[in-house]
Amino acid sequence: MLKNKFSIFQLFSPMGIALLLVVSLVFNIGPLFIGIEVFLLLSYLYRYVPAVIYMVRARSIKNKLRPLPGTTVPHKDFIVLVPAHNEADSIAPLVKTAVAQDYPREHYRVVVVADNCTDSTADIARAHGAECIEKNIKDPQPGKGACLAYASKMLQQEQLHSDTYFVIVDADCEVEPDYLSEINKRLSQYDEPSVLQTFRYVKNRNASVVSMLDAASENVRQLVTLGSRDLARMNAYLHGSGTVFEKSIFFRFADMGNECAAEDKEWNAWLLRDRIPIKWCPSAKLSYNVFEKNEEFQKQRVRWVRGQFITARKLAGEALMQGISRGSLSQIDYALSLYQLPRSVLIFFTFFCAIANYFFFSSAAWASIWFVLSMSIVPFELVGLRLSDINREFFSTGFKMIWGVTRSSLASSVNMGTGKFWTEIRGAEKKDS
């Protein structure tokens, strides 16, 4: 269990930086303020280097979305594993698309894990051709990690083929007809067992301003963040849904459980620690629907930011030190990604630095630099909008949400105690169910 105690990482949390800024201004500690500025400048550098790589090599990255050549590679066995908790309203489209793959039917199964469901999720999944594992055990920390651990325990009792891979897909997704074929072709390129992250995009991107912004962020994550790293032959990041694990790797990590709300980030750190490569597979695509209302989006945003903070506090320091000692650029890169502030919070602190430089340190030049930096996030967001095929009528309205996102991101850092965090998350899940 995580312990509620202070760690040095908390100084790099949104609340920690806010407190340090106040202390530096109240007590006129110039070096402390400069240190915070350096941290923020490095955050911008970390974000914008991949963006520059994308702008220079956009065509090469987009070409990776095309189907891979070759149709005669040996067929691996796949188990499409779907964790589901009360997903009766969304499970059918996924099962339909997962069952109807252009891949030999004898080489794949679709298995839905009905996690303490009180609705008809299991019946609907079976009716559309999926197998179903029904889990009716209460866990101290329920969620996706516990669901996958239970599925692992059940499936280890079967005699699976040695060349079996697990494809983890969330219940609210849909996969394209060649999804497994593209994964199979990608895996055939490697001699050693690998982990893949497939391509994700938002299906209802034009439903509302909220879904538009989510779609833009997803495209930046996929094409800019993962695309630039793939060009540099670095490891990809796991993003929860659309991940592919070799059988022994899945069983090993699923059985370890997870202590963080963001199980994909925790697994990512463990894989890099054990030097297991994580590859990007953009030719295999899945889509998903996002929240269309601002209130739901803000609630999800708070959960994500808190989950990242807890994961980073637990794993970032160790990953960074281990990456430096090993000379592992991918491990260092992932550790640094955990230290990154949400873009909305970064804008807030950047604008704050502009004001502080002008009024407290009488530096109009630096104030101007920070103001320009705070505005530079706008074209960065426009890149995501451009990549998402968004209705232009949403563009101007979309940026009005930045302040709301900033407030929710800042609010999520106020109470980072894991006890209350888990209580709030599980309480929200009970209400949703």
CA 246/CA 114 separation, integer angstroms: 23
CA distances to 270, 340, 353, 416, 419 from 2, rounded to whole Å, are 16, 21, 33, 11, 9
Amino acid 226: pLDDT: 95
pTM of the predicted model, to two decimals?
0.82
* Amino acid (1-letter code) at residue 248: S
Sheet containing 77-84: which strands, arranged edge to edge? 131-135, 108-115, 77-84, 164-168, 243-246, 195-202, 278-288, 173-175
Q: What is the H or E stretch that residue 121 is in?
A: helix 121-127
Distance CA 323, CA 333 (A): 9
Q: Over the stretch 296-343, which tens digit does the pLDDT of each residue have?
A: 666 666 667 776 777 777 888 888 899 999 999 999 999 888 888 877
Residue 345's pLDDT is 79
Question: What does the alpha-carbon distance between residue 243 and residue 108 come to, in Å, rounded to a whole number?
Answer: 16
Residue 288, phi then psi, degrees to nearest 5: -150, 160
The H-or-E segment that residue 288 falls in is: strand 278-288
Residues paired with residue 200 on neighbouring β-strands, in sequence order: 286
Tokens of 272: 């890099």
Q: According to the model, what pLDDT value does residue 433 have?
A: 44
pLDDT number for residue 4: 42
Residue 166 three-state SS: strand
pLDDT value for 348: 81
| pLDDT at residue 417, rounded to an integer | 42
Segments of the chain with pLDDT less than 50? 1-6, 405-406, 408-410, 412-433
What pLDDT score does 11 carry?
56
